[in-house]
Structure formats: C-alpha cells, structure tokens
C-alpha cells in the first residue's frame, strides 16, 4: 500500500470518528445536515435525469416520465436545502416527510424508467441499486422524526466511530513491508569461486 493510500485511510478513519461523535452528541443537527446533503444529491440527480437519462431512449412516455422526475428532484432538492436553513421546527419535520415521500414516488418512476431501458438493452443494475437505496433512505426518513430516529442516528454514530477506530487500528498494525532483494551473480560459477 502506498503512503498516500495509508494517509487516505488514516484520514477517513479520523473523519469517521469525528462524524460518529457528532452523530452521538448532536443527532438532530446531523439529521439536518443529512437532509441538506440529500437535497444536494436530489438536485444533482434531477439535472442528470434531465440532461442525460432522458435522452437514452427515443420513447416519448419515457422522456416525459424522466423529465417530470428530474424537475421534481430539483424542486424537492432545493426545498430540502433551503427550508432547513430558513425555517425551523414544524417546517423541518414536514420537509423530512416530503423528502421521504418524494424518494418513494421517485423510486416508482425509476422502476418504470428502468423497465423501459431494460427492454432496449441498457444495463439497469445501477438504477436498481438507486431504487433500493432510495426506498431504504425513505423508510429511514419516515422514522427519523420520531424518538426512535434519534436513537438510530446515535447507533449509526457509534457504528461509524467503530469503523473509524478499526481503520486506524488496521493502518497502524499493517505497515508497509519492504523487502530488499539479494544480489544475485550473473554467472552461477562465480558464487562457488568466492
């Protein structure tokens, strides 16, 4: 492993410990940060759908579905970014639910799009992973406003800290092994004459 890779793993380990501590100590602020990050990804996904995915198939129904999905992604993403920054309290909880329902609806539209893409021979494995991920995140968002959501965030914080500590432990135990080659004579008879 190169020194740069080792530094990367050490950095990731330290970052994981810090994020885990933050999730453990201030779970509500971490939830807000996660929703804002999901908002950024939603905007990026909407733009990607409008400019790349929509043109994959020359089917007007597919293009309309993906266009609607892209526009909704951008709108919900912008709301997820801006509302938590502007308002607090009830608006925040409403935004979490809106984001969760958007992810579920978007997954349904993505299933339709993936079905159309599969019919024309386009690899849909990345889209299947996105569908499953969206559904899982939506379900998590639906339980986050409840008290159990805070507990889940804290447990995830502990798990992330353990991963970070494991990375640091792994990197300190597995240092790069350097092996020096022996000098080998060109003529096998040289070693006997010496």
Q: State both tokens at 56.
A: 């994959």
Q: Going by C-beta distance under 8 Å and a sequence separation of 6 or more, which residues neighbour residue 55?
A: 63
What is d(CA 9, CA 4) in angstroms, rounded to the nearest whole number? 9
Angle (CA) 129 130 132, round 5°: 65
Q: Are 80 and 42 in contact (CB under 8 A)?
A: yes
Tens of pLDDT, residues 26-75: 887 887 787 788 888 889 989 998 998 888 888 889 899 989 989 998 99
Tens of pLDDT, residues 118-133: 898 888 887 888 889 8
Q: How far apart are the first and last CA of the chain?
A: 38
Write down the pLDDT at residue 2.
Answer: 58
Write down the pLDDT at residue 168.
Answer: 81
- Structural domain that includes position 74: 3-193
Q: State both tokens at 16.
A: 């994981």
Structurally, the chain folds into a number of domains equal to 1
pTM more than 0.75: no
Tens of pLDDT, residues 106-164: 899 989 988 988 898 888 887 888 889 889 888 888 877 666 667 777 888 888 888 88
């Amino acid at each position: 492993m190169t020194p740069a890779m080792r530094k990367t793993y050490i950095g990731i380990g330290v970052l994981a410990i810090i994020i885990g501590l933050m999730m453990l100590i201030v779970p509500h602020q971490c939830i807000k940060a996660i929703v804002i990050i999901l908002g950024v990804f939603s905007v990026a996904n909407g733009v990607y759908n409008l400019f790349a995915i929509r043109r994959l198939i020359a089917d007007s129904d597919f293009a309309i579905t993906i266009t609607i999905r892209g526009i909704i992604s951008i709108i919900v993403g912008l709301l997820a970014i801006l509302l938590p920054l502007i308002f607090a309290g009830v608006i925040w909880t409403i935004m979490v639910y809106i984001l969760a329902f958007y992810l579920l609806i978007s997954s349904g539209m993505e299933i339709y799009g993936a079905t159309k893409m599969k019919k024309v021979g386009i690899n849909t494995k990345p889209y299947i992973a996105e569908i499953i991920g969206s559904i899982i995140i939506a379900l998590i968002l639906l339980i986050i406003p409840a008290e159990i959501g805070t507990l889940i965030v804290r447990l995830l914080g502990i798990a992330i800290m353990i991963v970070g500590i494991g990375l640091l432990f792994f990197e300190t135990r597995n240092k790069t092994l350097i092996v020096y080659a022996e000098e080998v004579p060109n003529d096998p008879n040289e070693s006997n004459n010496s």
